[in-house]
Structure 1
Amino acid sequence: MKKGREPKVEFSGALGEQLAASIDWPNGETRGFAIFAHCFSCSKDFVASRRVANALTEHGFAVLRFDFTGLGRSGGDFSDTNFSTNAQDLVAAAKWLDEHYDAPTLLVGHSLGGAAVLAAAAQIPSAKAVATIGAPADVDHILHMFQCSLGDIEKNGEGEVDLGGRPFKIKKQFVDDVRNQSLGDQIAKFKGAKLILHSPVDQTVGIENAEGIFKAAKHPKSFVSLDNADHLLTKIEDASYAAEVIAAWAERFIPSKAPSIDDEGHTIAAESGEGKYHLNINASGHHISVDEPVSVGGTDRGATPYDLLCAALGSCTTITLRMYADRKKWPVNHIETWVDHAKKHAKDCEECGEGREGRVDIFHRRILIEGDLDDDQRARLLEIADKCPVHKTLEQSSVVTTKAVDQ
């Protein structure tokens, strides 16, 4: 099953420019929404950005990644921005999510994107947790990165700096804005959970920055070393490790918000709001995602209703055979049931027998049984397969009642 991704998402940033974004969706129920802010020398499609987003979707988060004003595919001129507008781009992203889906509960930032996340977190009331990767502890650290060009910027009002091997035009207003920032105070204002990931051999943003963030942050807070990783997490194993740590950590502070049903035999199928046909299913406390293929207007992020019907027949058959084999103490090592579904006209259906009209649902069931069994035992198991409860339900008439309920 393919993960969903919503293309060509755009929203207005702090300077009114259209910012390019994408949303990575989980296959099943959405635990919450997250925003990932990449480093300024990267883009939303950088390998570390993608890997973190993928890991979070595997843990149930929908992730909005976007390019800051003037970066990547977003509109505007980066030289017209400053640290304050970058932080406000994040606030704008959170507002757009709240208006179109749901407010974000998790913020993740890499490098200067991490600093922006720390600055913006207290301005995003829905945020419950923040994770940073290789982030500076003080925005003044940016000026050290500009050191070779700082004189030109001060003298001429602008200059070119190198960030991660890419040239950027920086104006004096950017420098002035940085000097007026107090990131430590902004970190202290955020009362949610904080996770600080940093490499001890980071040559771009030294490990002492992680210590600075940790000291400024209020509890709950955690630190994880990224060992031999470089600043940009260019090795896929480093990006994957950071991503999995963030995703597992976030689950502790952002539990699933789906309504719970614990008693057997009750199911809720509710629209998720994340696609035309995407549903969150709660089946006796167990969560399932249902959707339709893209070819009919769905997002292909879940099994179809008929997939579930086939799964019910196949699983009931396998369980019934296992129960019977164990009761008989027969040497059955493994059982698989494969089910295919089709619709046929009764007149064209050899399996239907007489007395049927119109279109008929046909379930083709194939059963694999591994074990040292003789022919009579295998034949008996096939007979037992026809006695599984779901098989009987499908072959017999059922009664479905319907009534409206109050909101």
Structure 2
Amino acid sequence: MPSEPFAITSAEGHELSGALELPTGLVRGGAVFAHCFTCTKQARAAVSVSRALAARGIACLRFDFTGLGASEGEFGRAGFATDVADLVAAARAVRERVGGPVLLVGHSLGGAAVLAAGAELGRETLAAIATIAAPSDVGHVLGVMKGDHDAILRDGEGEVSIGGRSFTISRAFLERMEAASLLDLVNEMRVPYLVLHSPSDPVVGIDHASALFGAAYHPKSFVSLDGADHLLTSSEDAEFAADMIAGWAGRYLPLRDDWPMPDEGVVVQTGHGRFGTEVHTKTHRFVADEPRSYGGDDTGPTPYDLLLAALGTCTAMTMTMYARRKKWPFEGARIHMTHERDHSADCERALDEHVRVEALNRDIEVLGDALTDDQRRRILEIADKCPVHRTLEGQLHIHTRSAG
């Protein structure tokens, strides 16, 4: 997916470092991903979910909270309230960039933060919320902070160890953690909510997911991440969660009214990245691209893939229609299409030496053991009569006009 740097200014004036994952084609909406406690925007879950959303047309921002990764500020003096404020700023920035309400996705403590941020964002800004392995109370996170909490509360600050890393934590950090009441916020929430959690999560137990799900109003959904660990370190688990969120979110970030769905023909519109291009018919849409070796993002078929597909699919449909009309025991066809860019050496026609001849090669396997040899021959002959074949070999003219 195309990715671009995206900086946010926090409420306290710090510059927060982000990466905006963009769809190769057009944008249907925006999302913000909140990473887990002491993680960064480079965490596996953050990258996987953000790019899966982008693949479905949802531009997703993943960013570093205050004092983490490449963001400014002091993590140990920030705390949960600062994370929430960072998210509110990020959601508003994404809404301004892409338009329309945004989806918030949070992992672990980031999940708790998106629930709290959702309470501050109106429905004009917020479309839906999804959480992965989120605790039902922010104070649960204090259990993973190894240190003398009482001393910190007494002295104003002190050192703790989180995941083997040392941080200096302030009294305000601990007090803000203890004061947050997530279940009350969830109970008051009136936006679509998706809970994803592993029943075997050793860090945040499944009972937290049950409490969050029970407190929320419908529409709400639950996905069990069976066998996954808390950080989704397995790429398969991260991609599964990403696919679930992306599919669910499509219901709440519907296709844009301004997208060019034509009454006839095909409309092609430039998207993002170097070659990303979106193709719209009356009832379908898909992305075309170029391979990475050619400088593209490889998120869709190439123009020549589409040309070969047009001939191959039309051939298969024509053969099927003919065999069914004859009521022959035809079981389908497997057609391998290739494009030959320099066919001059094999061409028997008299050609100007400066004209390059190209060819489309079509290898057809007719399926159906009960077919006779004569039936197979006739089905292969009909392949040359498909409409796209006739168009390509006929007197084809391409007319270009200015539409604007």
TM-score normalised by length of structure 2: 0.82
User: How is 1:2-401 mapped onto 2 (pairs within 5 angstroms)?
Assistant: 4-6=1-3, 9-14=5-10, 15-24=12-21, 30-53=27-50, 55-56=52-53, 59-102=56-99, 105-121=102-118, 122-123=120-121, 125-143=124-142, 146=145, 148-178=147-177, 181-184=180-183, 186-187=185-186, 190-199=189-198, 202-210=201-209, 212-214=211-213, 217-226=216-225, 230-234=229-233, 239=238, 242-257=241-256, 259=259, 261=261, 265-272=264-271, 274-294=272-292, 297-344=295-342, 348-351=344-347, 353-354=349-350, 358-372=355-369, 373=371, 375-401=373-399
1:177-236 per-residue CA deviation (whole Å, 9 max, x = no partner) reads 445545456545643211233455655445554455346544433445556655434566
AA paired with 1:393?
T
CA distance 1:11–1:352, shift in 2 (3 Å): farther
AA paired with 2:105?
V
TM-score normalised by length of structure 1: 0.81
Q: CA deviation at 1:390?
A: 0.5
* Aligned counterparts of 2:285 and 2:95: Cα–Cα separation in 1: 24
CA contact (8 A) 1:138 1:183 kept: yes
Aligned-partner SS, 1:285: coil
* Aligned counterparts of 1:397 and 1:9: Cα–Cα separation in 2: 49
Q: CA deviation at 1:289?
A: 0.6
Unaligned runs of 5+ in 2: none
AA paired with 2:68?
L
CA distance 1:359–1:118, shift in 2 (3 Å): same
Name whichever of 300-309 and 112-121 sits farther off.
300-309
* Aligned counterparts of 1:91 and 1:351: Cα–Cα separation in 2: 65
AA paired with 1:153?
I
CA distance 1:184–1:13, shift in 2 (3 Å): farther
* Aligned counterparts of 2:279 and 2:179: Cα–Cα separation in 1: 50
Name whichever of 122-131 and 278-287 sits farther off.
122-131
CA distance 1:308–1:225, shift in 2 (3 Å): closer
Count matched residues. 398
CA contact (8 A) 2:29 2:98 kept: no
Q: CA deviation at 1:66?
A: 2.6
Q: CA deviation at 1:114?
A: 0.6
CA distance 1:101–1:354, shift in 2 (3 Å): farther
Q: CA deviation at 1:132?
A: 1.3
1:157-178 per-residue CA deviation (whole Å, 9 max, x = no partner) reads 2222343454332112323444
Give percent identity, aligned residues only. 45
AA paired with 2:364?
I
1:281-316 per-residue CA deviation (whole Å, 9 max, x = no partner) reads 112311121223445553332222222112111111
* Aligned counterparts of 2:102 and 2:8: Cα–Cα separation in 1: 20
* Aligned counterparts of 1:291 and 1:101: Cα–Cα separation in 2: 22
* Aligned counterparts of 1:302 and 1:210: Cα–Cα separation in 2: 37
CA distance 1:307–1:135, shift in 2 (3 Å): same
1:256-296 per-residue CA deviation (whole Å, 9 max, x = no partner) reads 33647485x42111223x22432221123111212234455
Name whichever of 275-284 and 254-263 sits farther off.
254-263
1:76-120 per-residue CA deviation (whole Å, 9 max, x = no partner) reads 432242222212322333344345545662211111101111122
Aligned-partner SS, 1:359: coil
AA paired with 1:155?
R
* Aligned counterparts of 2:276 and 2:348: Cα–Cα separation in 1: 33
CA distance 1:255–1:101, shift in 2 (3 Å): closer
* Aligned counterparts of 2:161 and 2:340: Cα–Cα separation in 1: 61
CA distance 1:10–1:249, shift in 2 (3 Å): closer
CA distance 1:153–1:315, shift in 2 (3 Å): same
AA paired with 1:386?
D
